[in-house]
Amino acid sequence: MRFAVAEQDTALAEAAGEVLDREVDAEVVRAGWPGAGPHGGPGDRVGAVWRTLAQVGITGTLVPQHADGLGLDERALPPLMETLGRSGLPVPAAEVVAVGAPLLAAAGATSYLAAVLDGTALLAVGLTEGAAVPFAARADLVVVRVGRQARLYERGEVRVEPLAAVDGSRHLGRVTAPPAGGLVLAGEEALDVPWRRGVLATSGLLVGLAGRMLELTVGYVRERHQFGVPVGSFQAVKHALADAETAVRFARPAVLAAGWAQATGAPDAELRTSMAKVLASDAARRVARTAIQCHGAIGYTTEYDLHLYAKRAWALAADWGGPAYHRERMARRLGLTPASAPAPAP
């Protein structure tokens, strides 16, 4: 089977890439960490880029055209998310583009949807009840699972407890929401598709992050000299980076295949989605480890730019179900786990 990214999907990713290449560098990524300024304030450099990306149309990627979206399907997510992941921009891309905006559109929440689509309202999404919600500590709107439903709340309707995290730019928060409040977006039976989309989008972000860390590392070992020669000329460094690159090259087509399977309603969409998350998570974690090792002592310095991307990779590898969770789902799907075994927790 041959997978090729459609022209319209490539065009969207390229348009987003032009904005990111022009407006995002390590300092902008660093500006998304706690203490860098309030969301929406004059110093909100991350928010400014997000609003520019919204003007390009990425927030409405999966939103129907009649609801002011682009009307694309899941095949658009892998190239777009890889581009966003490579930039390191600390925004809820997977949560908004793949999950939140389509849920708002399907529920007919037009007033809220308009603010999300133009980037003026930051939306946080958590579909696992009781779990920490990325960007909840900065969000204007929050979608959380309450019982058997996904509900939308305005910030003032919920209590958010900020949580420490390995990647501080994700602004994790524990959300306590009133079970009778908010706006019902979907019932439990309608949450499988948004969940799979979130997994797919996160996998794409991980591939992009892995590519970015590889670029940084290859550039470094070319310039860093020891014993009069570039560090990159050492066989051990070459082999380590080649293995890391191979992992990324295996993960990328798996993510593309998962997007195709979701868009076409293939019966193995769940299996392919879990496979994509496993390979993307493993590849990103391997690249992060290899990148830090190849940088030597400076690679272990948290102030160094590499950590902005490595910490994001570590966080996303565990988000929307970690590798162990998705391996268990794959084993069940393939009949390798007894049906009586307890279901894994994401």
**What domains appear along the chain, each with residue ranges and CATH number?**
192-333 (1.20.140.10)
Phi and psi at residue 10, in whole multiples of 5°? -65, -40
CA-CA distances (angstroms) from residue 336 to 62, 234, 333?
A: 34, 42, 8
User: Which one-letter amino acid corresponds to residue 183?
Assistant: L
pLDDT band of residue 302 (cuts 50, 70, 90) is: confident
Instruction: State how far the Cα of 170 lies from the Cα of 69, in Å rounded to an integer.
Output: 26
Please check the confidence at residue 30 and state whether its pLDDT lies above 90.
Answer: yes
pLDDT band of residue 154 (cuts 50, 70, 90) is: very high
- Our CA angle for 5, 284, 99, nearest 5°, is 55
Q: What is the mean pLDDT of residues 172-190?
A: 93
Instruction: State how far the Cα of 326 lies from the Cα of 254, in Å rounded to an integer.
Output: 14
Please check the confidence at residue 41 and state whether its pLDDT lies above 60.
Answer: no
What was the pLDDT predicted at 279? 98
What was the pLDDT predicted at 51? 97
Please check the confidence at residue 3 and state whether its pLDDT lies above 80.
Answer: no
Please check the confidence at residue 346 and state whether its pLDDT lies above 80.
Answer: no
Instruction: State how far the Cα of 305 lies from the Cα of 288, in Å rounded to an integer.
Output: 12
Do 61 and 24 meet the contact criterion of CB atoms below 8 Å apart? Answer: no
Pairing of strands 225-226, 229-230: antiparallel
Q: What is the mean pLDDT of residues 142-153?
A: 95
Instruction: State how far the Cα of 311 lies from the Cα of 300, in Å rounded to an integer.
Output: 12
What's the mean pLDDT when you consider all of the chain? Answer: 93
User: Which one-letter amino acid corresponds to residue 125?
Assistant: V
Phi and psi at residue 339, in whole multiples of 5°? -60, -25
Give the burial string for 100-119 (b: 16+ CB within 10 Å, else e).
bbbbbbbbebeebbeebbeb
Among 12-16, 129-133, 316-320, name the one with the lowest average pLDDT. Answer: 129-133
CA-CA distances (angstroms) from residue 12 to 82, 246, 303?
A: 12, 26, 33
What was the pLDDT predicted at 130? 87
Q: What is the mean pLDDT of residues 246-259?
A: 97
What was the pLDDT predicted at 1? 53
Q: What is the mean pLDDT of residues 311-336?
A: 95
What was the pLDDT predicted at 38? 52
pLDDT band of residue 338 (cuts 50, 70, 90) is: confident
Do 171 and 134 meet the contact criterion of CB atoms below 8 Å apart? Answer: yes
Pairing of strands 173-176, 183-187: unpaired
pLDDT band of residue 4 (cuts 50, 70, 90) is: confident
Do 82 and 207 meet the contact criterion of CB atoms below 8 Å apart? Answer: yes
What was the pLDDT predicted at 42? 45
Nearest to 221 by CA among 142, 118, 306, 279: 306
| DSSP-assigned letters across all residues of 121-141 | S-EEEE-STTS-BTTTTT-SE
Instruction: State how far the Cα of 127 lies from the Cα of 139, in Å rounded to an integer.
Output: 16
Please check the confidence at residue 309 and state whether its pLDDT lies above 60.
Answer: yes
Q: What is the mean pLDDT of residues 63-75?
A: 97
Where would I find the H helices in 24-59? 26-30, 45-56
pLDDT band of residue 223 (cuts 50, 70, 90) is: confident
Residue 267 has which token pair?
């019966």
Q: What is the pLDDT of residues 264-279, one digit of tens each?
A: 999 999 999 999 999 9
Q: What is the pLDDT of residues 56-68, one digit of tens each?
A: 999 999 999 999 9
Nearest to 116 by CA among 59, 73, 57: 59
